[in-house]
Structure 1
């Protein structure tokens, strides 16, 4: 249980008593004074140096709040994209061009000179480097349990309805796994659209929350998320891969002084180059993720169009209760219960935390901020939805239809419940 406490001081901005949850640094629930405080006890280290983690947190907080202020009240699809999206695309094109140049140069050196020669060796090295740095297209997760239309017709029919409601293409692959999560992505050279529903997550949701989840995930196929676009994916991976390739590794050497000096110089050069490449990777990714956060706001808007604003807002509140949801699913799974009890137990946990939800939403703005987060804080996502005209549900999932979907997934629910109970 998350304890709510009053602070020992009053807010210097409005004079109200400060509040805190679970030992967090106190803040004012009214004017949000001190909500931007860096609370190192509650945050994982990102760089390991306290001063740097504090500085990057404050930068991330300013950028996140600034983006929210810029987007609130505006059409997210038409006007939301800005400099971050253009920079990501431009950087990806430059990186793809650089890898293509390495490959072309390597092939030319291989065919233009006869073996043996240093040019041929260099050509082979450049070609190998180009292969190592090539864009990755991804592949299906081996843990994904694929559900065909014949195997789960009711689920596929619901996915089709929600896709039509948000103007998204139907996924080529629909599957489930045992994670408390869900995702949509593109894999392979043919860019097959994949929708994965984590059963512990899908199973605890109410009818309209399930529609909201589908609307959000399917929205990623049309919201311009740079993490899922072939043109912009290199910005997220290629510099990091290059940094890994040149990072020095410890080797056992029995050579003389000259060899030791040469090895030390090589390691020093590799260390510097690796850090420079990795630093550039971090800067590029942190900028690219600004556009990913814009895309998340747009996916939330699509979620509300499909499920209604109430359903989309309810889904965001479930995200705030991830720990209690996981605990409820684990407890019921160990007791031999299935998805119906998961949902009941998770709803009871949320109801018990109802009074604390407004503070949890505020605290998420502090806790979930990061330069390297692909999602805006849940509290800001809810505010963004509430700032817009309310949507009525375009797709209504009845209890009877939801029961038929769960019946189709009964075997998968039972398997996941066993895995959760065995995991301890």
Structure 2
């Protein structure tokens, strides 16, 4: 249950009474004074040191607000690589050249001198390092269950309709998972497009919200999100992998003094190198995520284009109310009920929280702001959506068609319900 606490004082900016929900630090619902502050009691630490966490949150809040202001009055269309994307691609190319240089140097050392010689050892070491640092382009989640067109023709047909309405390509693979989530990724060197639908979320959404979810996820294939580009993956993964590779191993016991001294010096050098590589990784990730957040706004615009503004906003309200979603789905699953019950329960939860939703959206502006978040705060996404030109749905999903799609997924729903029913 969410309680609202008023009477917490007057806003020093506009004089209005401040509010608080869920025990959060008070803020002004009118001018949003104090909404950008860091609430140590409710926000998970990112670096573990309060002054640093407070500073990074303040920086993230400033960047997030600046991006929102820059986009709110502009057309949201794919604009190619922005500055953040260009930097990420440039660093990726440099890292790829570095790995190729390591591999080439290793191969040269193998054959440059007559065998046997010590150069072979260094050559093999360089080749091994190049292999360990190679870019990873992802693969299909092994826990996901792929849905073929023969198994789910209605679902595939709906996906194709939404793709046509948004101008997005159709995914090569459609799969279901047991998470309260959905995702769209390109994996492998061939960049195979994969759409993941989390059954608890999908089952709890009404028809138009499902269309909005598909529009948003398929929008990631055309919104220029740097996290999904083949030339940006190296920058987002290679330095992190290198930092893990050079992290000092556990120290040995029972060695002599010289061995312990050598190990101690080696650990210091490894620790310093690992931290430097990880710092570089953080800088690149933070830079790329600015561009990723821009892509989320565009994906929301495409969701509204497919399902209509009302349905896209309702989808975001479901994400704001994720605690209610978890409760509704778990209780329904424990009672042996399927997605029809989940939808009805989620609808009641949203209707019952209608008065609280504006404050919940505002609170996300504080609690979902982070330098390391791939998404803007849900409250700002909802605000961006509702301040733009109103859109009517291009794809309408009827109740009868919802039932046919759920019938195709019945076996998968049963498996997901068993897992959800007794999950912590």
Aligned residue for 1:59, secondary structure, equals helix
2:361 aligned with 1:397, yes or no?
no
Name the structure 2 match of 1:41.
Answer: 41
CA distance in 2 between counterparts of 1:81 and 1:104 reads 31
Aligned residue for 1:40, secondary structure, equals coil
2:144 aligned with 1:181, yes or no?
no
Name the structure 2 match of 1:114.
Answer: 114
1:423 Cα deviation from its structure 2 partner? 2.9
CA distance in 2 between counterparts of 1:283 and 1:207 reads 41
Name the structure 2 match of 1:382.
Answer: 382
1:116 Cα deviation from its structure 2 partner? 2.5
**1:48-127 alignment to 2 at 5 Å?**
48-79=48-79, 82-127=82-127
1:84 Cα deviation from its structure 2 partner? 1.1
1:165 Cα deviation from its structure 2 partner? 0.9
Deviations 1:207-236 (A, max 9, x none): 110000000001111111111111011111
CA distance in 1 between counterparts of 2:229 and 2:78 reads 18
1:80 Cα deviation from its structure 2 partner? 8.0
Aligned residue for 1:151, secondary structure, equals coil
1:414 Cα deviation from its structure 2 partner? 1.3
8 Å Cα contact 1:76/1:294 also seen in 2: no
1:320 Cα deviation from its structure 2 partner? 0.2
Aligned residue for 1:34, secondary structure, equals coil
CA distance in 1 between counterparts of 2:235 and 2:274 reads 17
Name the structure 2 match of 1:330.
Answer: 330
Runs of 5+ unmatched residues, structure 1 = none
Name the structure 2 match of 1:357.
Answer: 357
2:215 aligned with 1:212, yes or no?
no
Cα distance change, pair 198–372 in 1 and its aligned pair in 2 (3 A): same
Name the structure 2 match of 1:232.
Answer: 232
CA distance in 1 between counterparts of 2:114 and 2:400 reads 73
Deviations 1:228-287 (A, max 9, x none): 111011111111100011111113243322221111111001111111111111111011
Name the structure 1 match of 2:221.
Answer: 221
8 Å Cα contact 2:185/2:195 also seen in 1: yes
Aligned residue for 1:203, secondary structure, equals helix
1:290 Cα deviation from its structure 2 partner? 0.3
8 Å Cα contact 2:5/2:20 also seen in 1: yes
Aligned residue for 1:100, secondary structure, equals helix
Aligned residue for 2:142, secondary structure, equals coil
Deviates more, 1:256-265 or 1:126-135: 256-265
Aligned residue for 1:41, secondary structure, equals coil
Deviations 1:363-388 (A, max 9, x none): 10000000000000001111111221
8 Å Cα contact 1:7/1:26 also seen in 2: no
Cα distance change, pair 266–285 in 1 and its aligned pair in 2 (3 A): same
1:78 Cα deviation from its structure 2 partner? 5.0
Q: Provide TM-score, normalisation by structure 1.
A: 0.98
Deviations 1:141-175 (A, max 9, x none): 11111110010000000000001111111111111
CA distance in 1 between counterparts of 2:230 and 2:92 reads 9
2:274 aligned with 1:304, yes or no?
no
8 Å Cα contact 1:248/1:271 also seen in 2: yes
Aligned residue for 1:417, secondary structure, equals helix
Name the structure 2 match of 1:169.
Answer: 169
Aligned residue for 1:379, secondary structure, equals helix
Q: Provide TM-score, normalisation by structure 2.
A: 0.98
Name the structure 2 match of 1:199.
Answer: 199
CA distance in 2 between counterparts of 1:114 and 1:41 reads 65
Segments ≥4 residues shifted beyond 6 Å: none
Aligned residue for 1:423, secondary structure, equals coil
8 Å Cα contact 1:212/1:312 also seen in 2: yes
CA RMSD of aligned residues (A): 1.2
Aligned residue for 1:185, secondary structure, equals strand
Aligned residues: 424
Deviates more, 1:310-319 or 1:255-264: 255-264
Name the structure 2 match of 1:284.
Answer: 284
Runs of 5+ unmatched residues, structure 2 = none
8 Å Cα contact 2:78/2:222 also seen in 1: no
1:79 Cα deviation from its structure 2 partner? 4.9
8 Å Cα contact 2:78/2:223 also seen in 1: no
CA distance in 2 between counterparts of 1:128 and 1:282 reads 25
